[in-house]
Chain A
Amino acid sequence: MNSGVGPFYDGVAHFFITPEDILIVFCLALFGGLSGKQASRGLVLVLPLAWFIGSAVGRFSDFPALPVFLSGLGILVTGILVATAPAVPTWLPGTLAGVLGFLHGLMNGNALTQSSTLFLAAVGIVSSLVVVALITCAVTATLTQNWQRITARVLGSWGAAIGLLSLAWSLRPEGP
């Protein structure tokens, strides 16, 4: 019996094998979590919404394909924000998540054009990232010990380093 949720799992699988997507969600969630519960709430709500809209725009409109280096740049910026953990207004993590979520959603939408059931695939992707973002935000937001927050910031710096490397990778002379 076919329940019709197969494409949903395609979406889930697509998310977990796309390192850029996991990284950006993870870094954004660290940023949100370090900025507090209110910022996390905004982020957890805005990120999936923007991602979903981005997928729809990428699939159904003639929105031009964005250059690949933007995803590396996004990871670099978010990673640096996590590593430096500046005091930011509570709306910033959510806004950043909105922009970057839209961007990555757009890339997903472009990549998944073959799938006839893009809706369910997008739901699968968005559900997976909500789970990752939610848990990461909640864990990070509850870190009280200094060394725990530092561990989160070190992870952010790793994210920044990875972002910088993949940025250079996509800009290198031989092409991406």
Chain B
Amino acid sequence: MRRLGIILLLLWGGHLQGHEMRPAFLEITEVSPETYNILWRVPARGEARISLSVQFVEDVEVVSEPVTAFSGGADVTRWTIQRSGGLAGTPLRIKGLESTYTDALIRVSLIDLEPQTIMLNPENPGLTIADKPGAGEVAVTYLRLGIEHILLGVDHLLFVLGLLLIVDRRWMLVKTVTSFTIAHSITLGLSTFAVIQVEEVPLNAAIALSILFLGPEIARKWRGGSSFTLRHPWIVAFAFGLLHGIGFASGLSLNGVPRPEIPAALLFFNIGVEVGQLAFVFLALAVAKSIRILELNRPSWVLKLPGYAVGSLGAFWTCQRVWPILFS
């Protein structure tokens, strides 16, 4: 058995270009007292690799050497370590994380303790393995992930904005936003448990189409016209909500969260998405109301800008996402 100062697993290769958003995943399982199985999954795309490595406390002994295999779009490495006194209370660091855009999900299962799940990010690449995991840690992690997911998901926000633009009565607005929420919660759950599986490329194209779909409806509303969508926006919101829910799942299902924790994680991820969405809705309504109060709506084209933004971005994304399906 070899004693190593620092275990460095360099998954070699250059940095990925742009923003790599699939989180890395580290699982530490205490199989027998003071002996741990390690599973380390780093997402890969084609030939590109992110250089990330796991760094334990110095006096850790390697029981079985790391073995790496490529599976499911990621490099998966497994090995076993030992430490007298156990890992609880020792620091852990993901080396290289600070120079990426990736998050890393860490799951630690110690004997006799509930597993703890923590999200590390480039600003916060290390943690101390807790003796007693904080009860709310999973909740907080997934709540944050959900809020981030919706606020950074420009296409979802644009769809919600489009809905706001075709609904003007308050009660109908509540009904529409609620049915969108219910619909995407359903499909978020179903696709997390892999009941539904949709390819990412056509899904994204369909989501873009749903935004494009709202463009003409907004224009119709300006002209005082009527349509099924304008009369029953909540039905349309429900139908497209099913689609967007599958989209939300992509931010969750790729994390490789262990099964027992999925319900809680799913719940809090969903709550996070709703919190972010409601914040966006209230902000948009507050801005609209402020513009009316200050009478800034004098040139009438100002009020039409958001509508044009929804329609033209929807069209642009649709082209951009349909093109590869048709011509590759």
Contact = CB atoms under 8 A, between A and B. Distances in A.
Given A2-B18, A6-B19, A134 B294 contact: yes
A9 B294 contact: no
Contacts of A37: 293-295
Contacts of B293: 37, 138, 141-142
B295 A41 contact: yes
Interface string B280-309: 000100110111011110000000000000
Q: What's the dominant secondary structure at chain A's contact region?
A: helix
A25 interface: no
Contacts, number: 38
Contacts of A5: 154
B152 A9 contact: yes
Contact of A137 (B19, B152, B283, B294): B294
A5 B152 CA distance: 9
A88 interface: no
Given A3-B155, A44-B296, A137-B290, 18 more contacts: A2-B18, A3-B154, A5-B154, A9-B152, A37-B293, A37-B294, A41-B294, A41-B295, A44-B294, A45-B296, A131-B287, A134-B290, A134-B294, A135-B290, A138-B290, A138-B293, A138-B294, A142-B293
Contact of B286 (A1, A9, A41, A135): A135
A123 to B, nearest CB: 13
Contacts of B290: 134-135, 137-139
A5 B289 CA distance: 26
Contacts of A139: 290
A2 B287 CA distance: 28
A3 B316 CA distance: 12
Contacts of A45: 296
A49 to B, nearest CB: 14
B204 interface: yes
Interface in A107-159: 131, 134-135, 137-139, 141-142
Contact of B289 (A3, A41, A44, A138): A138
B240 to A, nearest CB: 19
Contacts of B154: 3, 5
A40 interface: yes
Interface in A72-89: none
B285 to A, nearest CB: 11
Interface of B: 18-19, 152, 154-155, 204, 283, 286-287, 289-291, 293-296
A134 B302 CA distance: 15
Interface string A12-50: 000000000000000000000000010011001100000
A6 B151 CA distance: 11
Contacts of A2: 18-19
| 4 tightest A-B CB contacts, nearest first | A138-B290, A138-B293, A134-B290, A2-B18
A151 to B, nearest CB: 18
Contacts of A141: 293-294
Contacts of A135: 286-287, 290
Nearest to A137: B294
A139 B290 CA distance: 8
A39 B74 CA distance: 58
Contacts of B295: 37, 41
Contacts of B291: 134, 138
